[in-house]
Structure 1
Amino acid sequence: MLLVTRVKLSFMMFLEFFIWGAWFVTLGTYLLSELATSATQVGVAFLTQSIGAIVAPFIIGLIADRFFPAQRILGVLHLVGAALLWYASVVPDFDSFYPVILVYMILYMPTLALVNSVSFRQMQDPSKEFPPIRVLGTLGWIIAGLTIGWLNWEQNGNLGLTFRMASIASAILGLFSFTLPNTPPVKGAGKASIGDMLGLEAIALLKNRSYLTFFLASVAICIPLAFYYNFTNPFLNELGMESAAGKQAMGQMSELLFMLLMPLFFVRLGVKKMLAIGMFAWVLRYAFFAFGDIEANYWMLIGGIVLHGICYDFFFVTGQIYTDNLAGPRFKSAAQGMITLATYGVGMLMGSLLSGVIVDAYQSAGGGHDWQSVWLIPAGIAGGVLLLFLLLFKDRTGGNKAVEENPTIIASGTTEVNSLS
């Protein structure tokens, strides 16, 4: 790959995830403090991600793969998104805010697949060339969080500026996308059925009892996952943590570290133990949040954030690799599409609705919350999922053999669902 192409793709990835991290992490705090919403409304706002994830395959399957170059669609979506984000920063109430952010997420979620498509089409060996480029995306998310913390927007009540910062970055990426390498539609692409776009042709994998157990566990574990994404920032700010968004970026830093260590762990532990460790990390994270505080147990709050690397990498990335290995050449893309739809579509949607109702139920008369009771609920859900998984899952696929022979599969396994990283 030419150096200029590598630099362009890296800058594209940086902006793609900087845009998301610039407003998504602090969305709950913004809605509760500046738009005076209920926690239930916060959950409804976050489920726009799930709606976007469900709609995304239709946009990619019907348009990007068949009619127009991917880089042009990427540019148009981000330019429209820039206008929507700016408008979202000035609307006065939730009733005006929600439809704007809903349309935005329907447009944004397909861009996650588009940036991967643009990248892969320029590569001879994606397993080696993609990771150094994709890591710039995680760095963009981290920089966005650190910027919000450094500017002290959470404490100053200026979180509306996060949408404007994201809007400017989206406009830059929208214009920059038209300079990216040409990525034309796939030649000979025929008509796509709904089943093709949603990956439903891989549904035969569910006949495997252990994979069915993993599949259901993946959907269920996304319910407590929604608690983390939706309410960690409001929780930390309510406790009085300074620069909460910046400290949350330590979760992405740990993700990078554990991503590097995963090939070693995978070979030593195998699929079942890796998945189980990932789920146990969810239980431990929420227990830390339940009993942590801003004084003597401050380390628990930081520990809960840093556990993100294990929570995400050990369960979701391992699960993507397990799915890829089990599916075989014919159903690889379809299988990843199916698990993406199930987790970030169905699972996160249920979690977003449930988390908001629960946080509202534990709101105190003074406006605060009984966070210990709140966090023990997702801890219990994650613990129940872990127990059932340990009892029912048996890996007979040799899931770690492929990684033992080619550790770079870890990198390619992250490309389908790296959205909340």
Structure 2
Amino acid sequence: MQIATRLRLSTMMFLEFFIWGAWFVTMGTFLLTNLHTSATQVGMAFLAQSIGAILAPFIIGLIADRFFSAQYILGWLHLLGSVLLWNASTAANFDSFYPAILIYMILFMPTLALVNSISFRQMKNPGKEFPPIRVLGTMGWIIAGFTIGWLNWEQGGQLDLTFKMAAIASALLGLFSFTLPATPPVKKGAKTTIADILGLDALRLLKNQSYLLFFISSIAICIPLSFYYNFTNPFLNEIGMAAAAGKQSLGQVSELLFMILMPLFFVRLGVKKMLAVGMLAWIFRYILFAFGDTAANYWMLIVGIVLHGICYDFFFVTGQIYTDNLAGERFKSAAQGLITLATYGVGMLIGSLISGLVVDKWQTPTGNHDWSFIWLIPATIAGVVTFLFLLFFKDQNKKNKPNAAGLPIQEEYAGSITTT
């Protein structure tokens, strides 16, 4: 890959995740403290992400794989998104906030698949080339979190500024997207079918029994993940952690480190072990949150946050590479939309509904929450999912061959998407 192309893709990733991290981490605190909502309403706001993720494969299948170049779609979605984020920052109550964030997430979630698709289309070996580019996205999220903590927007009651900051960055990425490498639709001119229009081509991946189990596991493990995304920042602020958003960025620092090391882990461990390690990290993180505090057990909170790197990289990034390798050239965009549907869509939709109800249920008479009991619930769910995954998942597309040192390494998944 040419250096100029690598730099443009890296900048794209940086801005994509800076935008998301700029407002997403602290939205729960913003809603609870600035707009005085319930935890159930917080769950409803995060559920907007899931609705966007569910619609993403249809948008990608209809547009990016068939009619328009992916970089142009990415640009227009972010330009429209910048207006909606600015409107969300001026909302006076939940009723005016929710429509803006709902429409925004319907536009934003397809961009997660688009940036992956644009990147993968420029690569010959995604397993090696993708992590160094994706790591810039992690840097974007880190810098967004540190900025919020440094400017003291949480304690100062100024979290509306997070949405304004994200709106400006979204406008920048929208304009920058038009300079990205050309990523024309791979099925342009082909006969249109209902499956094409709805982005259902990628469903052929589910004929592969290994991938079907991965898909189901992705849905299930994202139910407890919703607890982390939706309520970690309110939890840390409630128990008195200063600059909580900045501290949470340590999770992305860890993500950055493991992203750099991912090619080594991917080769040595393979898909099943990578995914399993990510799931196990979720269990330990929630247990640490359940028993951590801002006094003697402060270290538990920090370790729980730092584990995010393993949680995210070993499961999500591995899953994206696994999906891309199985999809084949014609279905790459739709396949990325499919895994987005499973994780951020169906799984986190269920999780958002459950997490808000759980947090409201265990609110104390003083207005605080029984966080120890709350965090043990996602820990239990993650434990059950991990056990079943280890019991039933078999990577039937794995092939091994010796490397130069005579050790077995993981080949790319070149098997047919219809293999069972």
Q: Which residue of 1 aligns with 2:418?
A: none
Bigger mean CA deviation after superposition, 235-244 or 170-179: 170-179
Q: Is the 8 A contact 1:11 1:136 kept in 2?
A: yes
Q: Which residue of 2 aligns with 1:133?
A: 133
Bigger mean CA deviation after superposition, 48-57 or 147-156: 48-57
Q: Which residue of 1 aligns with 2:157?
A: 157
User: Given residue 383 of structure 2, which amino acid in structure 1 is its aligned partner?
Assistant: G
Q: Is the 8 A contact 1:127 1:408 kept in 2?
A: no
User: Given residue 228 of structure 1, which amino acid in structure 2 is its aligned partner?
Assistant: Y
Bigger mean CA deviation after superposition, 30-39 or 75-84: 75-84
Q: What is the alpha-carbon distance in structure 2 between the residues aligned to residue 121 and residue 17 of structure 1?
A: 20
Q: Is the 8 A contact 2:268 2:410 kept in 1?
A: no
Q: What is the alpha-carbon distance in structure 2 between the residues aligned to residue 73 and residue 332 of structure 1?
A: 16
Q: What is the alpha-carbon distance in structure 2 between the residues aligned to residue 320 and residue 180 of structure 1?
A: 21
How far residue 189 of structure 1 moved from its aligned partner, in angstroms, is: 3.9
Q: What is the alpha-carbon distance in structure 1 between the residues aligned to residue 131 and residue 42 of structure 2?
A: 34
Q: Structure 1 residues 63 and 407 mapped into 2: Cα distance closer, same or farther (>3 Å)?
A: same
Aligned residue for 2:368, secondary structure, equals coil
Structure 2 counterparts to residues 391-402 of structure 1, below 5 A: 391-398=391-398
User: Given residue 204 of structure 1, which amino acid in structure 2 is its aligned partner?
Assistant: K
User: Given residue 56 of structure 2, which amino acid in structure 1 is its aligned partner?
Assistant: A
How far residue 396 of structure 1 moved from its aligned partner, in angstroms, is: 4.7
Q: What is the alpha-carbon distance in structure 2 between the residues aligned to residue 41 and residue 202 of structure 1?
A: 35
Q: Structure 1 residues 176 and 213 mapped into 2: Cα distance closer, same or farther (>3 Å)?
A: closer
- 1:197 is the counterpart of 2:194: no
Q: Which residue of 2 aligns with 1:384?
A: 384
Q: What is the alpha-carbon distance in structure 2 between the residues aligned to residue 321 and residue 149 of structure 1?
A: 33
Q: Which residue of 1 aligns with 2:369?
A: 369
How far residue 122 of structure 1 moved from its aligned partner, in angstroms, is: 4.8
Aligned residue for 2:199, secondary structure, equals helix
Bigger mean CA deviation after superposition, 9-18 or 146-155: 9-18
Q: Is the 8 A contact 2:67 2:185 kept in 1?
A: yes
Q: Which residue of 2 aligns with 1:417?
A: none
How far residue 212 of structure 1 moved from its aligned partner, in angstroms, is: 4.5
Q: What is the alpha-carbon distance in structure 2 between the residues aligned to residue 399 and residue 215 of structure 1?
A: 21
- 1:219 is the counterpart of 2:219: yes
Unaligned 5+ runs, structure 2: 414-420
Q: Is the 8 A contact 1:267 1:401 kept in 2?
A: no
Q: What is the alpha-carbon distance in structure 2 between the residues aligned to residue 72 and residue 213 of structure 1?
A: 34
User: Given residue 81 of structure 2, which amino acid in structure 1 is its aligned partner?
Assistant: G
Q: Is the 8 A contact 1:226 1:352 kept in 2?
A: yes
How far residue 376 of structure 1 moved from its aligned partner, in angstroms, is: 0.5
How far residue 323 of structure 1 moved from its aligned partner, in angstroms, is: 5.1
Output one character per residue of 1:183-213: Cα deviation in whole Å (capped at 9) or x when no partner. Answer: 44434343253476142222212xx3x6554
Aligned residue for 1:139, secondary structure, equals helix
Q: Structure 1 residues 76 and 115 mapped into 2: Cα distance closer, same or farther (>3 Å)?
A: same
Q: Which residue of 2 aligns with 1:13?
A: 13
Aligned residue for 1:155, secondary structure, equals coil
Q: Is the 8 A contact 2:51 2:106 kept in 1?
A: yes
Q: Is the 8 A contact 1:40 1:357 kept in 2?
A: yes
Q: What is the alpha-carbon distance in structure 1 between the residues aligned to residue 263 and residue 410 of structure 2?
A: 5
How far residue 41 of structure 1 moved from its aligned partner, in angstroms, is: 0.7
Q: Structure 1 residues 260 and 178 mapped into 2: Cα distance closer, same or farther (>3 Å)?
A: closer
Output one character per residue of 1:353-404: Cα deviation in whole Å (capped at 9) or x when no partner. Answer: 1000000001112211110010010011111222223333344543676998
Output one character per residue of 1:117-165: Cα deviation in whole Å (capped at 9) or x when no partner. Answer: 4444555665555443332211111110110010010111100000000
Aligned residue for 1:157, secondary structure, equals coil
Q: Which residue of 1 aligns with 2:70?
A: 70
Percent of residue pairs identical: 73
Q: Is the 8 A contact 1:50 1:348 kept in 2?
A: yes
Q: Is the 8 A contact 2:116 2:336 kept in 1?
A: no
Q: Which residue of 2 aligns with 1:316?
A: 316
Bigger mean CA deviation after superposition, 215-224 or 140-149: 215-224
Q: Structure 1 residues 399 and 180 mapped into 2: Cα distance closer, same or farther (>3 Å)?
A: same
Q: Which residue of 1 aligns with 2:30?
A: 30
Q: Which residue of 2 aligns with 1:169?
A: 169
Q: What is the alpha-carbon distance in structure 2 between the residues aligned to residue 242 and residue 300 of structure 1?
A: 16
Output one character per residue of 1:278-336: Cα deviation in whole Å (capped at 9) or x when no partner. Answer: 22211110000000000100000001011112212223334445556667778776655
Q: Structure 1 residues 204 and 331 mapped into 2: Cα distance closer, same or farther (>3 Å)?
A: farther
Structure 2 counterparts to residues 345-356 of structure 1, below 5 A: 345-356=345-356
Q: Structure 1 residues 83 and 333 mapped into 2: Cα distance closer, same or farther (>3 Å)?
A: closer
Q: What is the alpha-carbon distance in structure 1 between the residues aligned to residue 402 and residue 361 of structure 2?
A: 47
Q: Structure 1 residues 397 and 174 mapped into 2: Cα distance closer, same or farther (>3 Å)?
A: closer
Q: Is the 8 A contact 1:271 1:400 kept in 2?
A: no
Taking structure 2 as the reference length, the TM-score comes to 0.87
Q: What is the alpha-carbon distance in structure 1 between the residues aligned to residue 400 and residue 249 of structure 2?
A: 30
Structure 2 counterparts to residues 72-111 of structure 1, below 5 A: 72-111=72-111
Q: What is the alpha-carbon distance in structure 2 between the residues aligned to residue 181 and residue 159 of structure 1?
A: 35
Q: Which residue of 2 aligns with 1:289?
A: 289
RMSD: 2.9
Q: What is the alpha-carbon distance in structure 1 between the residues aligned to residue 332 and residue 114 of structure 2?
A: 18
Q: Structure 1 residues 147 and 399 mapped into 2: Cα distance closer, same or farther (>3 Å)?
A: farther
Bigger mean CA deviation after superposition, 390-399 or 71-80: 390-399
Q: Is the 8 A contact 1:41 1:356 kept in 2?
A: yes
User: Given residue 298 of structure 1, which amino acid in structure 2 is its aligned partner?
Assistant: Y
Q: Which residue of 1 aligns with 2:342?
A: 342
Q: What is the alpha-carbon distance in structure 1 between the residues aligned to residue 224 and residue 50 of structure 2?
A: 14
Taking structure 1 as the reference length, the TM-score comes to 0.87
